[in-house]
Each structure stands twice: as structure tokens, then as C-alpha cells.
Structure 1
Amino acid sequence: MIYPVVVYGHPILRKEAEDFLPEEKEELKQLIDDMFETMYNADGVGLAGPQIGLSKRIFVIDATPLADDFPELANFRKVFINARILERAGDKVIDYEGCLSLPGISEEVSRQSKVKIRYLDADFNEHEEIYEGWSARVIQHEYDHIQGILFVDHLAALKKRLLKAKLNAISKGKVNVNYRIKLPK
């Protein structure tokens, strides 16, 4: 099932998501498949629960399409459930980011180059791993979604003011995208 992508202005994007409980494990398999299908349909490399209207701590990533430019992303396809970033380290790196919930906007965002994250996989097995480079960037971007944070929140106040008209247009559905969107109520 392909979900509509929730866009800027919807309150669910600003809410900290809740953990999945062990008894919810069985319903996750279909949700994970649907999230990947939704992400692929929108030509994304990551998608978080709040972006499909689900305030739960889950995000999926398949950054393989970026592997030509960033070889460390080859075969980087993962599911993160109930994730917690334990540590951010390394140099701050500035690079462009976009977001399915903010179509048409791409801005330079500063993020640390290394993260240590604890999460559950699709089978509810716990992992604690360290990621660097672009994999760390993509994880931090998706993790922000389950924390109620958008990449534009990392921008300077002046830059945010300059984007205000574009953000307002997105919240009213005045965007040209090739995927279904869900507007704020």
C-alpha cells in the first residue's frame, strides 16, 4: 500500500513519536513493506513514520541510489525501530538535504559526521551501531522526523524567513510532486 506523504504544516511532523511495543511486532512486517513502497514511489531514500501520518518511532532507509556518488551507501537498506541516537561525534559537515515532506526545498544543513545509534530491526533484535559520512547524515535526517524535527529547523533564522513563502505554499498543497500528499487539516 502506498501512503500519501504528510507535508509541512501538519502537526504530526512536530510531535515526538512513540515506541512500538513488543506485541505490535507482527503488524510491523506489512507496515515496513508499505513504507519502502511509499518511499520508492516518491523517489526518496528515507521515510519516517510521521511522514505517513503514524506517530511511531520507525524509519526506513534505502540510500543505494546514492552509491555512485557515495560508495559507502551501496546496499545501505535498513529499518530502524524505536531508535535512539546515543552519540553524535566527528566534524560538522555541511551538505544539501531535501525531504519528501518539504517538496521543492533543498538547503545546506550542518550535521555531525558520525553517529552511534541503538535500534530494533524488523524482527525486534536490538542493534547498537556506528555510522559515518552520508549514512550518518541520512540516519540523522530520518531520526529527526521521529523527534518532531525537520531539516529546516537546523537553518539560520534569516534562511527560514526567506523560505517562509515556499513553506506556506507546501502547507496549502501548492506543490508539483509525482506522489500523493496529505495536507494539514
Structure 2
Amino acid sequence: MANRLTDSSTGSLTIAELGNPVLRSPAKAVSNIQDPAFQQLIDDLISTTIECNGVGIAAPQVSQSLRLFIVASRPNIRYLHAPKMAPTPMINPQILSYSDAVVMGWEGCLSVPGLRGLVKRSKEIEVLYTDRHGQQQQRTFTDFVARIIQHEYDHINGKVFLDRVESTLDLMSEAEYHSRIVCG
């Protein structure tokens, strides 16, 4: 596994931002889940997500080209109405099915700071993934958590939410989003 960068001021991992090639490359499958360095990466991703007020993060966002992401939905300053769930690592995930029902929703991204975009996502998805203990899990997710998973799944496939925005008119600054949409 490649070296990880850490921000010494916060202890969190350094976030790769838009323009970094790692964000545009499909990630590699994880083969040794029990490797202590990989288990530490999981813990570091969870910590980084919480410290950065995210609701999810993918390994490519910290310059690790691995098919791993964390879903850690909870209310915070960036997502006031997010449902609460325990941080869930998803290793080598596959989305098995997408509902026909789709919903538009505002998304932000730690790798695209200061910007929000209106993105169409499936309301419900079925996901097959390996957990941090090496056990396969197959679960159905809905609504905001399904959105997070689809967003993070895009990251491990070399995409960012901007690729899914239908019009530049569906973009706004983070500050405008909070003043108009959240507090409006």
C-alpha cells in the first residue's frame, strides 16, 4: 500500500482535490483486507470523515487507489438533516441494482471544496460489499444513504459529482447553498 499523507495540524488524512489524477482513475480491488496497514487506513478514513464534517469518503480521495469507501451519515454542519448511522466501511463494493425511482438532491464533496451541485440519483440501491472483517454483506439502502453510496461509488470509478450535474445552472457555492437552501 502506498504511503498516506497526514495533515499534522488535525491528524486527518490529506484530501486530494479536483485536478489530482487519482480522482479520475478507477481504483484497484483490495486483496488483503486483514493487512494492518489497510485496517489502519479504514480507521484513518473514518476519523477524516468525522473531522472534515463529511458523510462519506473514498480511498482515492486520500490518494489511495483502492476500492474502499466509508459511509458515515450523521447530522453535521455540512449536512444538517443527515440520518445517523454507524460508520460503515465498504470494500470492493458492487451496486447490484438501482431503483427506477430517482431523486434530485444537492451534493457536496470534500475533494471539490466550496461547491454544491444538484444531482439525480436512484432512490434505492442494493449493494454487495465486503466488510472490514472479510465478510460479504448484501444490503439495500434508500434515500440519503443511497445517495452517499452512489457518490462514493463514483469516486472508486474515477468520477466526481460534477460529472453528473446536468447543467451549470445546477451549481452553487457552499455559502450560497447554506444561505438559500439550508437556511432559506
Q: Does TM, normalized by the shorter one, top 0.5?
A: yes
Query: Which of these residues, 61, 65, 81, is aligned with residue 69 of structure 1?
Result: 81
Q: Which residue of 2 aligns with 1:10?
A: 20
Cα separation, partners in 2 of 1:85 and 1:25, compared to 1, 3 Å: farther
CA contact (8 A) 1:64 1:77 kept: no
Of 63, 83, 92, which residue of structure 2 is paired with 1:82?
A: 92
CA distance in 2, matches of 1:143, 1:153: 13
Residue of 88, 106, 111 corresponding to 1:101: 111
Q: Could you tell me which residue of structure 1 aligns to residue 160 of structure 2?
A: 150
SS at match of 2:114: coil
Aligned residue in 2 for 1:178 = none
Q: Distance in 2 between matches of 1:120 and 1:152?
A: 28
- The one-letter code of the counterpart of 1:55 is S
Identity %: 32
Q: CA deviation at 1:68?
A: 6.7
Cα distance in 1 between the residues matched to 2:124 and 2:100: 5
Aligned length: 160
Of 62, 67, 70, the residue aligned with 1:60 is 70
Task: Between 80-89 and 24-33, report the one with greater CA deviation.
Answer: 24-33
For each residue in 1:57-85, what CA deviation from the matched residue of structure 2 results, as whole angstroms up to 9, or x when unmatched? 00012102269735xx3224211001111
> Which whole-Å CA distance do the structure 2 matches of 1:115 and 1:25 have between them?
30
- TM-score after normalising by structure 2: 0.80
Provide the residue aligned with 1:170 in structure 2. Answer: none
Partner secondary structure for residue 98 of structure 1 = strand
Matches within 5 A, 1:22-41: 22=32, 25-41=35-51
Give the TM-score taking structure 1 as reference length.
Answer: 0.79
> Greater share of helix residues, 1 or 2?
1
Kindly provide the amino acid, as one letter, of the partner of residue 3 in structure 1. L
